[in-house]
Structure 1
C-alpha cells in the first residue's frame, strides 16, 4: 500500500526533529483555530518538540502532570470520565455485529460459496508442498480469472424478497440524523489535504504499530492474509476501500462505491468471525475465545475506526510536524463515525472529537501488548514492501519510518531492526517535505483545491490501476483468506525483487533535507549580516 505513496515522498515518518520545529514553530503558535487540539499553545509547542523526539523519551517541561496522567508507548494523556475503563472494555470483547452475521448466513443460503483452495502464507504447522514456479504461476493466473462472488450484488438482488435482507438494507440506507453531508465532504477533503502523510501514518502506525494489539493479531494470523506473499495485496485492498470512501460524498451515500465497499467489508468481517468460531467449536484450542474475545468484536471495530481517525489526528500527523485545525478534526471524525455506522461498529465513541480521542487513548492503554505473533506480522509488512516499486524504499528506511512513528519502545517489542542514523535523517527530510507542502497548499485555497483533486486521481491510479497495485481490478472484498486449522501466519522471507540502484523515496527525502539545510544556513548568514549592520548603526 505505502509504496504507492512513497512515490510522492509519502514514506516519511513521524519525528521531524528540531529542524522542523524551526520551520514550523511560529506557524504552530499563530495558526488560527489550532487550539482545537484541546491544549494551550505553549503546551502544544512543547508536545510537538517531545513528539518529534519521542523515541528519545525526553521529558516535556510544558506538560502538566496529574494523578490521572498516563504515558503509554511514548504517548502521554490524562484519563477522564469519558475514557473507557478496563471493566467497560470486557463486554465489548464478547459483543459483535449480530445482524451482519445473520445477513451473511442468509446470503450463503441463497447463494452458497464455492469451495476452492486459496493462496495464503506458510503455516507453522504444515510445510507447503514444493511446486515448480511455472505451476504456481498458472494457478495464480487461473485464480485471478475466476469470477468473484459479490455478496453486495447478491444482497441487492434479493433484498426485496427476503424480510431479513430488507431489514438490513433499510437500516444501512437510512442515513442517521447526525450525518451532515457537507461535513462529510469536508472530512473527505481533509484526508487528501494531508494525503501523503495520512497514508504514511495509516501504513506504519495504524497498521504496523497496530500489530501490537495482542488479541487482534490472533485473528489476523489465522487468516494467513499477512504472510509476505499476500500482505502487500491486503494493504492495497484496504487502501482502495479508504479511497472509495473519501473520493466524493456520492460515493458514501447509499448505492455509491464507498458505501458498497463498506458493506462488503462488513460481510467479510462476519465471514471471518463465522469461520473461526466454527473451527473453535470442534477444536477449542484453535482460538481462545475467553482470552481473546469473539473475533472482530465491537472493541476491535472501535479500535479500527480509532486508528483510522483519531490516531492520525493526535499521533501520526503531529509526529510528522502537521497539526489539523479544529474544524478539520471535527469533520474528519464525523466522516469515520458514518463509516463506523455502515460497517456495524458502535458509533457513540465517535460522536465528538474528544470522544474519539478518549477511545483511542483507552485502547492504546488496554489493548497494545505485543506478542511473538505481533513480531511476525509487523516484520512481514516490512519484508513485503522493501525494495518494491514505485518508491523502492529499503527495509532500513521502512524500519526507520516505523520507529519514527511508533517510537523505540513499541518498535523494539515488535522486533523491528534498528537502522543507522543516516536513515533517520532521511525520514526527517521526508517529514519536512510533507509539512512544507501541506502547510503551503492549505494556506492558499486554490492550491488546496487543485491538490485535493489531483491526489484523488493519482492515489486511485497508483493503488488500483498499476501493475504493482491491484492491476486494474478493484477488490470485491471476497472471502479469499479462509482460516483453517493448519493456517497460522509464520515469519516470511522478503519478497524477491531486483535490488534497485536508487530509491526514489530516499532520494526525495535527501533532497528535502539538503534544501532545508541550505535555507537554514542562508537564513543564518542573512540574520548575521543584518544584525551586524543594525549594531553598527547603533554603536
Structure 2
C-alpha cells in the first residue's frame, strides 16, 4: 500500500482488527480446557526444525503449519545481507532496541495500556526485556529464519503471545474500548516498524550510517518477520521509505503521555541502571534515550534529564573498552551504547537467568480475565 493511503480512514478500523489465525488457535485451546497441556508441549519447542508436538488442538496445529512458511516474496539473499548486520553492530542494535524502539512504543499511550495490564510484562520486566533482545538476536542470527534457526519459531510463539493477550486483556473489566482491540493491527505495525525503521535510524544517530542497500536488506528481514507475526499486508510495506512514513504517521496519531507508558519506560531505565557497571554510567540510560528519540518523545514518557557528567569525567578509564582515550572521535553516546549492548547478553543474562539463553514461551494462562 502506498504511503499516501495511510490515512485515518484506513488506520482507524485497523485498531479493531486482530489476527484471525492466531486468535482462533488460542480460543480453541481455552474452549477445550487444554491451556496448561499446550503450554507444556510448546515449552521446549525452540527451533524451526523441531517437529510439532503431538496431538495439538486442530486450530493450533493449523496455525503452526500455516505460519511456518515464509512468504513467496521473501528474498533469501536480502535476508542474509540484512541479518549480517548483527555481526557488525550487535551491541548497538541491542542498545537501540532498548533505548529507542521500546520507549517510542511506550509513548503511544493506547498501545501501552495492554502492556501495562499484562502481569507477564509488569511483574517480569527484566525477563521481558531480555526475551525481546533474544528475539532480535534469534531473527538476525545466521540461519535464524532458515530450517534450523530459532527466529521463525520465536516469531510464531510471540504471535501466540499476542493472541493470548487479546483473549485475556480485552475481557478485563478495566479495559477501555476507546483504546482499540488489545494488540491490534495498527499497534502491531507500529511495533514492527520500531524494529525495521527505528534501529537503522538509531544506528545513524550513533554514527553508523548504513548504505541504502544494507538498510533495505535489514528492513526486508523484518518485513518477513512481520508476515510471520500476522501483520496485515496493508500495514507491512515493502520499502524502508514507506515503512518510515507509516511509522511516523502512527506516531503522529498515537503519541501522548500516559501512566502506563511512563511505568514501562521506567522499567527499561531501571534495567539499564542495573546491568551497566559502576557509578560512571549513572546517567547513561536517560542520556541514550534522549539522544536516540529526542527530548519531545522522551518527555512524553518522563525520561529524566540527560546527564553524562560522570560518564564523561571518567571516560579516560571506564569508557575506553577498546575505543582509545577520552579524546577519541567515536561519539560518547556510541561508546555507552556499545557497553550496554555488550552486557545485556553477559552481565544482564547472568543476572536474570543464571547464564542460560532466554526462550520465548507461550503463556497460555497469562492472566485470568476479570468480570466485566
- TM class by shorter chain equals 0.7 to 0.9
If the length of structure 1 is used for normalisation, what is the TM-score? 0.57
2: CA distance, partners of 1:424 / 1:106: 53
1:267 is aligned to 2:160: yes
- Give 1:274-293 correspondences, 5 Å limit: 274-279=167-172, 283=173, 286-289=174-177, 291-293=178-180
SS in 1 for 2:247: helix
SS in 1 for 2:168: helix
Residue 74 (structure 2) aligned to one of 158, 162, 179: 179
Structure 2 partner of 1:344: 230
**Do the aligned partners of 2:36 and 2:365 also contact (CA within 8 Å) in 1?**
no
Return the index of the structure with the highest Cα Rg: 1
Further displaced range: 166-175 or 231-240? 166-175
- How much has 1:107 moved relative to structure 2? 3.8
Residue 150 (structure 1) aligned to one of 35, 42, 64: 42
1: CA distance, partners of 2:162 / 2:101: 18
Residue 366 (structure 2) aligned to one of 479, 482, 487: 482
1:258 is aligned to 2:144: no
Structure 2 partner of 1:384: 271
The answer for unaligned runs of 5 or more in structure 1 is: 1-79, 116-146, 439-455, 487-539
Structure 1 partner of 2:322: none
Residue 190 (structure 1) aligned to one of 85, 88, 92: 85
Structure 1 partner of 2:203: 317
1: CA distance, partners of 2:120 / 2:62: 32
Residues 292 and 325 (structure 1 numbering): CA distance in 2 closer, same or farther, change over 3 Å? same
1: CA distance, partners of 2:206 / 2:272: 21
2: CA distance, partners of 1:81 / 1:272: 29
- Give 1:414-453 correspondences, 5 Å limit: 414-420=301-307, 422=309, 425=312, 432=331
Residues 433 and 402 (structure 1 numbering): CA distance in 2 closer, same or farther, change over 3 Å? closer
**Do the aligned partners of 1:226 and 1:380 also contact (CA within 8 Å) in 2?**
no
1: CA distance, partners of 2:171 / 2:329: 47
**Do the aligned partners of 1:275 and 1:483 also contact (CA within 8 Å) in 2?**
yes
2: CA distance, partners of 1:92 / 1:399: 33
**Do the aligned partners of 2:29 and 2:35 also contact (CA within 8 Å) in 1?**
no
1: CA distance, partners of 2:355 / 2:32: 31
**Do the aligned partners of 2:68 and 2:152 also contact (CA within 8 Å) in 1?**
no
What do residues 249-290 of structure 1 show as CA deviations (whole Å, max 9, x unaligned)? 2x31356322211111111111111011233xxx3xx1012x
2: CA distance, partners of 1:169 / 1:231: 28
Structure 2 partner of 1:103: 25
**Do the aligned partners of 1:464 and 1:473 also contact (CA within 8 Å) in 2?**
no
**Do the aligned partners of 2:111 and 2:187 also contact (CA within 8 Å) in 1?**
yes
- How much has 1:202 moved relative to structure 2? 0.7
2: CA distance, partners of 1:371 / 1:434: 27
**Do the aligned partners of 1:263 and 1:342 also contact (CA within 8 Å) in 2?**
yes
- How much has 1:423 moved relative to structure 2? 5.6
**Do the aligned partners of 2:25 and 2:60 also contact (CA within 8 Å) in 1?**
yes
Residues 420 and 268 (structure 1 numbering): CA distance in 2 closer, same or farther, change over 3 Å? closer
- Give 1:157-172 correspondences, 5 Å limit: 157-158=53-54, 164-165=59-60, 167-172=62-67
**Do the aligned partners of 1:401 and 1:424 also contact (CA within 8 Å) in 2?**
no
Structure 1 partner of 2:323: none
The answer for unaligned runs of 5 or more in structure 2 is: 320-325
Residues 420 and 358 (structure 1 numbering): CA distance in 2 closer, same or farther, change over 3 Å? closer
The RMSD of aligned alpha carbons is 3.5
**Do the aligned partners of 1:224 and 1:481 also contact (CA within 8 Å) in 2?**
no
- Give 1:351-390 correspondences, 5 Å limit: 351-388=238-275
Structure 2 partner of 1:396: 283
- Give 1:9-24 correspondences, 5 Å limit: none
What do residues 323-374 of structure 1 show as CA deviations (whole Å, max 9, x unaligned)? 1101101111110011111111124433122221111111121121122322
**Do the aligned partners of 1:152 and 1:263 also contact (CA within 8 Å) in 2?**
no
2: CA distance, partners of 1:167 / 1:480: 17
SS in 1 for 2:24: helix
2: CA distance, partners of 1:337 / 1:204: 22
- How much has 1:86 moved relative to structure 2? 2.1
Residue 410 (structure 1) aligned to one of 269, 293, 297: 297
Residues 435 and 150 (structure 1 numbering): CA distance in 2 closer, same or farther, change over 3 Å? same
1:333 is aligned to 2:219: yes
**Do the aligned partners of 1:313 and 1:324 also contact (CA within 8 Å) in 2?**
yes
